[in-house]
Amino acid sequence: MISSGETKSKVDLLDACRTLSNKHYDLYATGGTHKFLAENGIASTAVNWPDEDGDHNVLQMIANKQFDLVINIPKNSSKRELENDYKIRRGAIDFNIPLFTNARLASAFINAFCTKSMDDIKIKAWDEYK
């Protein structure tokens, strides 16, 4: 589930979202992010903010563990934005769903997750790291 905040964060996450889509992961996004992804040729399912009614309320979906990862980047400091973002982040933590609040870190994780295999990862003894 992606709620990518302001335009810069949306752009920072675009390649990562495209990679996930190309790997056939289902993407869920809040309104502005859903629209941005669609404008850039990436399919996603729109979800409602915590304070909105509807079948795809993000908090209910988090509680039902319908997401494997939550990316929530705050857009501004308005009361509604802060309250909704807090509820999304709190829900992810409460239901033990990995959470990213930084677009560059989320992109790096997604890139590694989608391009590395277990054979690429070498296990080392603690003292081998320098």
CB burial readout 21-38, b (16+ within 10 A) else e: beeeeebbbbeebbebbe
Q: Which tokens belong to 76?
A: 């501004």
Please give the model's pTM, rounded to 2 decimal places.
0.87
Would you state the pLDDT for residue 124? 83
Cα separation, 96 vs 117, in Å, equals 24
pLDDT of residue 76: 82
Strand order in the sheet with 99-100: 45-47, 28-30, 2-3, 70-72, 99-100
How many other C-beta atoms lie within 10 A of the C-beta of residue 91? 21
Q: How far apart are the C-alpha atoms of 71 and 28, rounded to whole Å?
A: 10
Which parts of the chain sit beneath pLDDT 70?
none
pLDDT of the residue at 116: 85
Residue 122 confidence (pLDDT): 81
DSSP state of 99: E
Q: What is the pLDDT of residues 22-42, one digit of tens each?
A: 999 999 999 999 999 999 999
pLDDT of residue 53: 86
Beta strands per DSSP E along 6-120: 28-30, 45-47, 70-72, 99-100
Q: Could you please report the per-residue DSSP string of 20-35?
A: HHHTTPPPEEEHHHHH
Please state, as a whole number, how many other Cβ atoms lie within 10 Å of the Cβ of residue 123.
5
